[in-house]
Amino acid sequence: MNRIKTMTMEWTGDSLILIDQRFLPLEEIYVECKTYQEVAKSIKDMVVRGAPAIGASAAFGYVLGAKQNQQYTEKNKFFQEMKNVKKVLAETRPTAVNLFWALNRMEQVMNDNFNLNDIKAIVDILEIEALKIAYEDIEINKAIGRNGEKLLKDGDNVLTHCNAGALATVDYGTALGVIRAAVENGKRIHVYADETRPYLQGARLTVWELMKSGIRTTLISDNMAGWVMKQQKINAVIVGADRIARNGDFANKIGTYSVAVLAKKHGIPFYVAAPLSTIDLETENGDLIPIEERNKEEVRFCHKTRLVRDDVDVYNPAFDVTPHDLVTAIITEKGVVRQPYDKNIPELFK
Ligand SMILES: CSC[C@@H](O)[C@@H](O)C(=O)COP(=O)(O)O
């Protein structure tokens, strides 16, 4: 168990190899990160993206940081350096709480082993912990799938936004994990995938991975979602999350809020599928979730094609917050929770 290899990432023992999601689906290119700085850059530049995948990558980045600093004989110096490793990895993307969750977990394990005299032994323990995070993520996603697939019927048409699939996790996926589990259970499910401007995770990633898995998928542009719902083509919406606040408000890819409002208007159940590591009990409500603003070029371009001149003003929030009253249920590995979320979400952690 000292290696892991999935479609999204591979831990070799000395490096983290990531499928470069910036080039999918047209090119399958891999990036090998041999340092924690390279992992941080890969997270920031979205070689790897999606909350759980970011968390697991950061954990492996932390291990690389530990390996880069294991020459220190003075333990305090090593611990000091590891603070900087954590800081660099934490400063990559602000919204997905899984990043901070994974880094805190790694740091906690390191602190718990402060008494070990051998730094190399601490590094080995950190490597085991990162592998645990990665292996657990797959099992958690499968549990989310089992819990969520009961909400879907044979023949359902499901709309999803962005990519909350295998590529956004270590493997299997959260929202797409629910769809995957339903299909594995013999249900015929057809997916409508929003293309998800500006970064096109839906068009480029969701469609690619669902088609690879043999799941029927139709691509629509984001502005078609309302009309497709109006035509009664959608039975359920399932999306992932980057951070769920204590009251059930949640941040997810920009455009999720519009989809939730549309689902409400059309009486369509709107589900959020996410692991407990995406729930941030310390954040009381959605107004307090930090929303990442990304480079304006992402909007001035459509993938690699320039749409407008570079002096065109642009606003590019990468996420929005959907208020909990629009959420029919949150699907987790511990079960499905419904309103009132401020009461039921904390129960999941007991
Ligand atoms: C299981 S992934 C859930 C979310 O992280 C996903 O829906 C999303 O918004 C990803 O955003 P991204 O900017 O591509 O990292």
Confidence tier at 347 by pLDDT (50, 70, 90): very high
**Domain termination site, one of 141, 156, 187:** 141
Which pLDDT belongs to residue 202? 98
The response to whether residue 318 sits with its C-beta less than 6 Å from ligand 1 reads yes
Task: Provide the percentage of residues in the chain whose pLDDT is more than 70.
Answer: 100
Q: Are residues 272 and 301 in the same domain?
A: yes
Which pLDDT belongs to residue 136? 98
Q: Indicate which atom in ligand 1 lies nearest the CA of residue 162.
A: 7
**Domain termination site, one of 89, 110, 141:** 141
pLDDT (tens digit per residue) in 17-53: 999 999 999 999 999 999 999 999 999 999 999 999 9
Which pLDDT belongs to residue 16? 98
Residue type, 166: A
Average pLDDT estimate for 249-259: 98
Which pLDDT belongs to residue 72? 87
Q: Are residues 105 and 172 in the same domain?
A: no
The response to whether residue 164 sits with its C-beta less than 6 Å from ligand 1 reads yes
Q: Are residues 122 and 165 in the same domain?
A: no
Q: How many domains does the chain have?
A: 2
The response to whether residue 253 sits with its C-beta less than 6 Å from ligand 1 reads yes
Going by C-alpha positions, the residue among 45, 23, 20 that lies closest to residue 200 is: 23
Which pLDDT belongs to residue 123? 97
Q: Are residues 87 and 183 in the same domain?
A: no
Probe residue for ligand 1, chosen from 45, 54, 93, 201 as the CB with the greatest number of ligand atoms within 8 Å: 201
Residue 231 tokens read as 């035509």
Which pLDDT belongs to residue 348? 97
Q: Are residues 133 and 152 in the same domain?
A: no
The response to whether residue 52 sits with its C-beta less than 6 Å from ligand 1 reads yes
Q: Are residues 222 and 132 in the same domain?
A: no
pLDDT (tens digit per residue) in 220-251: 999 999 999 999 889 999 999 999 999 999 99
Which pLDDT belongs to residue 163? 98
State how far the Cα of 54 lies from the Cα of 34, in Å rounded to an integer: 16
What HEC string does 80-97 produce?
Answer: HHHHHHHHHHHCCCCCCH
**Domain termination site, one of 124, 141, 158:** 141
Rounded to the nearest angstrom, the distance between the alpha carbon of 278 and the centre of ligand 1 is: 11
Q: Are residues 325 and 241 in the same domain?
A: yes
Q: Are residues 134 and 70 in the same domain?
A: yes
Asked if 158 and 215 count as a contact pair (C-beta separation under 8 A), the reply is no
Contacts of 250 (CB under 8 A, 6+ apart): 241, 242, 243, 244, 272, 274, 286, 321, 322, 324, 327, 330
Q: Indicate which atom in ligand 1 lies nearest the CA of residue 292.
A: 13
Q: Are residues 314 and 181 in the same domain?
A: yes
pLDDT (tens digit per residue) in 161-212: 999 999 999 999 999 999 999 999 999 999 999 999 999 999 999 999 999 9
Q: Give CA 27 to chain center in angstroms.
A: 22
Q: Indicate which atom in ligand 1 lies nearest the CA of residue 278.
A: 3
Q: What is the dihedral of CA 54, 165, 198, 26, to 10 degrees?
A: 100
Active site residues: 242
Asked if 254 and 200 count as a contact pair (C-beta separation under 8 A), the reply is no
Q: Are residues 45 and 132 in the same domain?
A: yes
| Greater model confidence, 145 or 114 | 145
> Is the pTM for the entire model greater than 0.95?
yes
Q: Helices H, strands E: what count in the chain?
A: 12, 17
| 3-state SS assignment for residue 58 | helix
Residue-averaged pLDDT of the chain: 97
Q: Are residues 134 and 148 in the same domain?
A: no
Beta bridge partners of 217: 191
Which pLDDT belongs to residue 233? 82
Confidence tier at 320 by pLDDT (50, 70, 90): very high
Task: Provide the percentage of residues in the chain whose pLDDT is more than 90.
Answer: 96
Say yes or no to pLDDT of 1 above 80: no
Beta bridge partners of 317: 293
State how far the Cα of 339 lies from the Cα of 147, in Å rounded to an integer: 17
Average pLDDT estimate for 279-283: 98
Question: Residue 71 belongs to what domain range?
Answer: 4-141
Q: Please, where are the H alpha helices in the chain?
A: 36-44, 51-68, 75-90, 97-112, 119-149, 175-184, 201, 207-212, 225-230, 256-265, 297-300, 341-347
Residue 65 tokens read as 């940081």
- 259-263 contacts: CB < 8 A, separation 24 or more? 259/159, 259/161, 259/194, 259/225, 260/322, 260/326, 260/327, 261/326, 262/225, 262/226, 262/229, 263/229, 263/234, 263/237, 263/326
Q: What is the dihedral of CA 142, 277, 251, 99, to 10 degrees?
A: -110
Residue 2 tokens read as 């000292």
First-to-last alpha carbon distance for the chain, in angstroms, is 29
Q: Are residues 165 and 272 in the same domain?
A: yes
Beta bridge partners of 322: 250
CATH of the domain at 290: 3.40.50.10470
Asked if 321 and 257 count as a contact pair (C-beta separation under 8 A), the reply is yes
CATH of the domain at 78: 1.20.120.420
